[in-house]
Structure formats: C-alpha cells, structure tokens
Structure 1
C-alpha cells in the first residue's frame, strides 16, 4: 500500500512588517504554491498578517536542547567539498508559555550543510533557555509577495465576526438569567 498523504509544509506568519516570522502550524499540499494558499486560508482568518512563508517539513533540520546535550554526532556529518555555500534561516523556541507559535525567526547563517548551519547558528545566536533550534535553507522557502498583502490579508481585517470578542453569548446568557431572576422576584 502506498502513502497517499500530501507532503507537510510548516507555516510561518508575520503579524506586522516589523515583527519576526513565527511558526504557526502546518498544512498538507501537493506543492509549495498550494501550501501557501492553504496556509492563507487556515492561518489568516484573523488580523493581523503582513506575510506568510511555507517550508517543506522535510527541509527543516531541527534539534531540541535535550538532543543537543545528549548527542553531538550530528556535528561529525561530513560536508561534501563541492557543496555550495548558501543562506540558512535560524529559528528558536525560547519559551514554553506561548502555545500559538512554535519557533521564531532570529537570523541567518551561511553554511554548506544542515549540520554546519546549526553549528554556526549555535555560535551566532546562543542565548539561555533555547528549547528548540531549526535551520532551513532559504531557497526552500516559498513566500507571499508584498503585492499579495492587500488581497490576501486585508479582507480578514473586516471580518470581525470571526474574532472571539464578537461572540457575546456569555454576556447575553448572564443578562437573560439576571432578567429572569428579576421577574421571579416581583
């Protein structure tokens, strides 16, 4: 029996132009372009969004702090002599509190392999309490374009009925119960 599951893409969202991209979840799609459209439909239901990225999950080199502490054999992975130098984006998870996002983009390194990229990221962006590290080759990222921002993200701004603050059910139930109590007391 063959696997019929489409590839998984990790989704990164930027809330505002001056904020870093954060991983907000994943979608399945047959190709990066459809993954980007699926990401828009799934994750841009509420404002604010200034940009989206999708990355094939298979392109992410990830290590937890526990994995880094327990096993450093990943560092010995040989780098082919003819491997080209390329840009890798670095992501970290620094807190256990925020459950809406997983990792946040913190910078870039130039490397010839995933292991070399992570080693350079550990040097360049080392801080306390980093629980997870991800490195991703920049060439594997499919991005929304600035021209897409208007038609892709603006409509969500005006669909306030999708915001939790628009659901007044609890308040209405309390008001109805209070009114019922008042009428019984008379």
Structure 2
C-alpha cells in the first residue's frame, strides 16, 4: 500500500509542468535570503578577512539577488522550449542557491553554534533544487551530463570553501563590494 502511494505521488509530481514547479526554487531562495538578513555579525566573527559592509548594503544584496532569481526564472519560462528553460535555470539554481546552501551546511558543522540560513538551506534550498533537477532528469528535459557537471562545480566550490577554512570564501569579497556600491548608488549610503 505504501509503495503504491509513493509511486502515485512520484508519478503525479513527475507529470507537473516543469515551468510551474521551477518556481519553488526562487521561493525557497527567498526564505534563505530572509534568514540571512542579520548574518553580518556572524560573518565578521567567523572569517579573519571578512569584508565589512553596512547592514543596508548587505540587505540590498539580499533583495537584489532574490529579485534576480525570480527574473531569471521568469525569463527562462518565456523561452520557446522547456529544454531551453531548463538549460537557462539550472546554472543559476545549482551555482547560486544550491552551492551557497552547501557552504551553509558546512559552516553549521564546522563552526560552533547556529550558522545563519542553515535551516532554509537544509529544509528548502537543497531539497527544492534536487527535486526540480530530478523532475528535469526523469522527464529528459536536460542532459544528465549537463546537470552532473553543474553539481560537480558546486561541490568544487564547496571544496574551495573548506580549504579556505576561516577565511571569507572566494568571490564573496566581490559580492560584498558590489553590494556596498549598489547600496551607495541606490540610497546614497554604503
């Protein structure tokens, strides 16, 4: 009986339109960014070379990247084929929400205490990206080698974070510097 229910649920999920289910990723990512709203004190405490920016600059980035996630997904849904949609969304989904989520999981188990955004990563981001990836793979919407390559790149990025240990991960200085610039240009404050 349980197996029949499982197969029914799997079949029903697999038959959902891809362009509808992909929206769970930017929604999950929004909750993740909200959980990071006050991450700066933790960031400064845990990384020896942390880039210092204001809370406004950080929050500007969080809103900006959240909007980019929705915009990216929306534009991808306008492409002429579902395959093209998949080819466009997966680099973003895997290299931004999924990759960053792996970092948060690592930090949770490496540093003492709660690592901000760990819960949304473990409960929302990672499962949503894996679920949408499974759906695309099961329905042969994207090449499994393409998806696999993206996941390998995400793991390599995690390895870079692990090797950096107590240092700010690669690219975060650029992201945070851009955040300060964006806040300055939008609000006249960094």
TM-score bracket, normalised by the shorter chain, equals under 0.3
Q: TM-score, length-normalised on structure 2?
A: 0.25
Q: TM-score, length-normalised on structure 1?
A: 0.26
Bigger strand fraction: 1
Bigger helix fraction: 2
- Higher gyration radius (CA): 1
Higher relative contact order (CA 8 A, sep 6+): 2
